[in-house]
Chains A and B, each alone.
Chain A
Amino acid sequence: MSKSEKKKKNKFLFELGLEEIPADMISPALGQMCQGFEKRLEEACIDYGSIRPFASPRRLAFLVEDLPDHQPEREEVVLGPSQSVAYDEQKKPTRAVEGFARKGGVAVADLELMETPKGNYVGYRKKIPGKSLSEVLQEVLPQVLTSISWPKNMYWRESRFRFIRPLRWYLALLNDEVLPFEFEGLKAGNTTRGHRFLGAPDIQVLQVDDYLDQLRQNYVLADIEERRAKIAAEIEEVTPKGLHISSDPHLLETVVHLNEYPTLICGSFSEEFLKLPQEVLTTVMRHHQKYFSVVNEEEEIQSYFLTVINTSGDPEGKIQKGHEKVLRARLEDSAFFWKADRKRRLEERVEDLDLILFQEKLGTYRAKTERLRTFCSGLSEDPHLDTAALLCKTDLTSDMVREFAGLQGVMGGLYAREDGYPEEVWKAIYEHYQPVSLEDASPSTPLGALLSIADKLDTVVGCFAIDIVPTGSSDPFALRRQAQGLVKVLLDHQLDYSLSHLVELAEKNFPAETKDKEVREQVLNFLKGRVRYIFQEKGIPYDVLNAVLAVEIHGVYDAYQRAQSLAGIRTDKDFEALAMAYKRTKNILSKQSIELSAVSQESLIDPEERALFRAYSEIKPKVDNNLENGDYVAALKQIAGLRKTVDQFFDKVLVMTEEKKLRQNRLRLLHDISQLFLRIADISEIVQEN
C-alpha cells in the first residue's frame, strides 16, 4: 500500500439550521460561509478537495471532501538571547542561555546560532505537531459563523449575539460521527429537519452521503440547482400552450430561495382586468405576490399567472383558488386606483406636490419640479421638455403610486398619455427614472434622457449641498446609483455636455440659504468617481482611466472615446516609447518655471531641437483638426509619430543648459508638445507592460 493511499480522506458536512432567512440574503450568506470556511482551512494549513454549498430558507450548509486527519507538523523557531549575551568571552554559555534552554526543555548543546536582521541570536527549532482535523474544525466553525455579515440582523437571546434570524440547530458530521461543537447555546448533532408540513421534524443523518437524499424524501431540496431545475421544468409544464412567462431573472432567483420544495401552479384572473395597463398588472403580480405574468408571442399580457408554492402539489386546486382570490382583491384595488386617479388631470395635481416632501431641507416635490424646469430650460428650449418636467412628479399624488411606489414615473407617463399629451411628453415622464441600475436601459427618447439627467443631478447636487454624502456602505438617497444612472444616460445618448457645466446649472437652483456650502468641486469629484467605475465596468484598463481622468473630463462621452482610443494605441511600440519620453518631459517641466510664450525659432540652435520643432509644427494643425473632430485615434497616431525625433532630442540636446534663454526656449517646446497630449490624456499615467 502506498503512502498516499494510506492517508485517510475525510468528509465533513455542516448544516446551520435557522428560522426563515430572507430569500435575497441566502446566496450572499452562503457564499460568505463557504469562503470563510475555506479561508480558515487554508490558514490552518488544512488541504481540502471540493466544497459543495447547499441552502434552503431554513438552512445553510456545505459538504467538504478530501480532508486530512491532521494539520501537518510544523517547525517554529524559538529565539533566545543574542550571541553576545549567550556566551562569555571564553565562548562558554552564560547563565542567561542556560536558563533559556532549561525553560524550553532543550540541551544547551542543541542550541543553534541563528541569523536575524537584528544580528545573531541563539535559539532552537521546535516541532509542533498538527492538531487533529476535529480540533481544527471545532475552532474554525464559530469564527466562520460569527464572520457572516447580514444587511439587517437581530438579537434573540441574552448573549446579544446578532444574526439574521434565530439559530435553531446544527448538523455537524465528520465522517458520519457528530463533531462535538457548541455555539450560542446550541449543540451540534446528527439531526436535521424536513419540510415544515410534509417532512419529519427530526431526521437522523447517519451517513454524510445520505444527507441530500434524506432531505429530499422529507420534501426539502437542499441543492439549489435542483430547485432551480425543478422550477424551470415546471414553468414549461404548467404554462398554457402557446404562451410563455414574461422573463424575470430576479423574481426567478427569489422564488428559488423562497421555497424548500418549489412546485409551480398556474392560476387565472378575470379578463376584464386586462383593461388595466400591462405595467400595473405585472407590478401587482410581481411586487406583491411574487407571481410570474404570462404573455403571448407578441409579449402581450394574458389573464394567467404562475406562482411557486412551497409544497408538493395542489391536487384539489385549493391553493390555486386561494391565490386567485388574493390576486383578484389586489387587482380590484388597482382597477379602482386606475379609475379614480384619472378623474383628475396631471396638471391639476401640480399644486398637490406642495404636500409631498422631497427632503426636509430641500423642500417639497413642487420645489423640485421648479428646479427641474429651470435646469431643463438650460439644456433645451423644447416646450415638450418643460411640460414633461412640470408633470413628471405629479404621479406621486396618485393612489396607484402610493400603493406601488415602483410604478413612479411609469404611471405618470401612462396618465399623461390618457390625458392626451403628445408622445414626446408622456414618454419622457414614463422613462425619467431610468436607468435604475447599470443593467437597466437608459431612456429611449431624447427628452426622456434629458429629464432623467435633470432629476438625478438635482438629487445628487441637493444632497451634497446639505451634506448628505455617501460614505462607505451608507448611501441613504442612493446617490451612487443616481450618479451612475446619470453617467450611463450621457454615454448611451452620446451627449457631450461637460460635467462641470451640468453641475453648475443644477447648483444654481439651490439658493445660498438652502445650502450648507458650495459643493461644485465635491460633486464633480464624486461624479468622476462614478465615471471611473462605469468605464472600468466597460473594460477600460485602470492606467488608461487614470490618464484620461487626470485631464479635464469635459463630456463623459468624449472622455469615453478618448479612453477607448488610448486603450487601443497603448501597446503600440512608438506610443510606449513616447509615453516614456513624456514622463521625462513632465518631470522636467514640473520642476521648472516656464515663462510661457511662443517658441523662438532663432533660439533653436541644435539640429535635433530644430527637427523636433519642425515635426511638431507639421503635425500640430493635423492633430488639432483631428481633436476637433473627435478622431482621437488619428490624433494619437500622429503624436506617436514624433517618437523618433523626441528620442533624438533627449539624446543630444541638454534641456537644462546654463543659458537661460536657450533653456526657456527648450522648455517651451516641450511644454507645447505635452499640450498636444493633454487634450486627450496625461499619458505619464500609462503603465508600461515590461
Chain B
Amino acid sequence: MKTFQEITHNLLEYWMHYGCIIQQPYDVEVGAGTMHPETFFRVLGSQPYKVAYVQPSRRPTDGRYGENPNRVYRHYQLQVILKPSPDDVQDIYLESLRKLGIPLEQHDLRFEEDNWEAPTLGAWGIGWQVLLDGMEITQFTYFQQTGGLDLMPISAELTYGLERIATFLADKESVFDLPWNRELTYGQVKQREEFEFSKYSFEVADTGLLFELFDLYEKESLRCLEEDCVLPAYDYCLKCSHTFNLLDSRGAISVTQRVGIIGRVRSLALKIAKQYVQEREEKEEQISV
C-alpha cells in the first residue's frame, strides 16, 4: 500500500520526468495552489512554462477540529501548470494516475463539467472535476482569465486532491487513518495542528486586530505597487485574502462588508496582474519572476 508521502513523491516524479520544473510550496498562507505565484503570474503573458508543486492550502471555514473524517483546515494540493496546454493533456494526466497504480480499466472514471472560479483573484477557467468511482480526485481547468486579464496561450491546470487520492488508494474511511509513512498516520502528524487552527479560526482570532491587519496589508500592497515591487505587492494581497478568510470563519463579516472586502482583494489582484504584464512586456524579459 502506498503511503501519503509516496503518492506525493510519485506524482512529482512523474511530472518532473514530463519536463516540469518542480517547485516548492509558497511560504505565504494561501487557500489553493492557484494562488502560488508560480500559477498566478506564470499563466500571464506568452512564455511557455511547465511547473508542478505541492501547496498546503488553508481553508479556515473547513476546519473541523480534526474530528471530521473528510474535512480539514489545511489540506494538500498537488498543482501542475502546463502552458500552453498540450493537445494530449488529458491522456498525460490519466497516465499519472496509472503510474500511481490505479488500473483505470477496472474503475469508473469520468470528467464531469465543473468550471473553476476565484473571484478574489479575478480568475476563472473551464473544465471538469475528475471523478474516480464517484470521488472527486482532481480539478482540471483550462485557464481563461487571471487578474481579470484574458490569457493566451491557454494553460491547463491540474489540481490533485492528495488526501482524496490517498484515501482511495489506501482504502481508508478517514484521512486521519492514512499512513503518512510506514510509521506515522496522517492523524498523528496533523491532528493537533487541525485542532489548534480550527480553534483559532472559529473561536480565538482577534477580529479587531484582523481588520486592522487587513487594512495594513492592503496599504502595503498598494505601496509596493507604486515602488514597482509587483511580487511583494502580491504577497500582501495573499495576506489580505487569508485575513479575509479568517474573519469570515469567525463570522465577523457583515453582508455589506463582505462584498466590499472581496472587491478590495480583487482590485489588488487586478492591479498586480496588470502591472506585472506591463512591466514584463516593457522589459521583454525571458522567464524570471
Residues of chain A having any CB pair with chain B under 8 Å: 19-20, 22-23, 57, 152-158, 160, 165-166, 168, 196-198, 258-259, 289, 307, 309-311, 314, 316, 318-319, 321-323, 325-329, 332-333, 336, 354-357, 360, 364
Contact = CB atoms under 8 A, between A and B. Distances in A.
Contact of B108 (A22, A23, A319): A319
B152 A160 contact: yes
Contact of B134 (A322, A332, A355, A360): A322
Contacts of B68: 333, 336
A197 B256 CA distance: 50
Contact of B128 (A20, A152, A329, A333): A20
A319 B258 contact: no
A20 B110 contact: yes
A307 B133 CA distance: 10
B132 interface: yes
Contact of B111 (A19, A168, A356): A19
B108 A326 contact: no
Given A19-B90, A198-B105, A329-B69, A356 B255 contact: yes
Contacts of A360: 256, 259
Interface string B49-80: 00000000000000000001111000000000
A154 B126 contact: yes
Interface string B109-130: 1111101000000000110100
Contact of B70 (A165, A333, A364): A333
Q: Which 5 A-B pairs have the closest CB atoms?
A: A322-B133, A22-B113, A309-B108, A20-B111, A154-B126
B109 A323 contact: no
B154 interface: yes
Contacts of A168: 87
18 contacts: A23-B112, A57-B110, A57-B111, A154-B126, A154-B142, A158-B153, A197-B109, A258-B112, A309-B108, A310-B110, A311-B108, A319-B106, A322-B107, A322-B108, A322-B132, A322-B168, A326-B135, A357-B256
B94 interface: yes
A57 B173 CA distance: 31
Report whether over half of chain B's contact residues are helix, strand or loop; otherwise say mixed: mixed
B288 interface: no
A23 B108 CA distance: 16
Interface in B130-157: 132-135, 142, 144, 151-154
The CB with the most chain A CB atoms within 10 A, among B126, B151, B251, is that of B126
Interface in B83-97: 85, 87, 90, 94
Contact of A326 (B107, B109, B133): B133
B126 A310 contact: no
A332 B69 contact: yes
A318 B133 contact: yes
A356 B256 CA distance: 9
The CB with the most chain A CB atoms within 10 A, among B90, B125, B151, B259, is that of B90
Contacts, number: 105
Given A23-B113, A158-B153, A310 B108 contact: yes
Nearest to B251: A355
The CB with the most chain A CB atoms within 10 A, among B108, B112, B113, is that of B108
Contact of A327 (B71, B126, B134): B134
B170 to A, nearest CB: 12
A85 B111 CA distance: 70
A325 B259 contact: no
Contacts of A310: 108-110
Given A22-B113, A156-B142, 7 more contacts: A19-B90, A20-B111, A198-B105, A310-B109, A319-B107, A326-B134, A356-B255
Nearest to A291: B134
B176 to A, nearest CB: 13
A322 B110 contact: no
B204 interface: no
B13 to A, nearest CB: 23
A329 B70 CA distance: 7
A259 B134 contact: no
A596 B108 CA distance: 80
A197 B109 CA distance: 9
The CB with the most chain A CB atoms within 10 A, among B134, B154, B255, B258, is that of B134
B9 to A, nearest CB: 24
B88 to A, nearest CB: 9
A567 to B, nearest CB: 43
A355 B256 CA distance: 9
Nearest to B141: A154
Nearest to B106: A318
B115 A152 contact: yes
A289 B151 CA distance: 33
A223 B173 CA distance: 39
B286 interface: no
B254 A355 contact: yes
B259 A357 contact: yes
B104 A197 contact: yes
Contact of B154 (A157, A259, A336, A357): A157
Nearest to A267: B134
Given A197-B105, A311-B105, A319 B69 contact: no
A323 B111 CA distance: 16
B109 A165 contact: no
Contacts of B135: 322, 325-326
A310 B70 CA distance: 25
B60 to A, nearest CB: 15
A453 to B, nearest CB: 26
Contacts of A311: 105, 107-108
Contact of B133 (A153, A319, A332, A356): A319
A403 to B, nearest CB: 11
Contacts of B115: 152
A230 to B, nearest CB: 15
A329 B68 CA distance: 9
Contacts of B126: 152-154, 165
Nearest to B255: A357
Nearest to A353: B255
A332 to B, nearest CB: 7
Nearest to B115: A152
Interface string B18-45: 0000000000000000000000000000
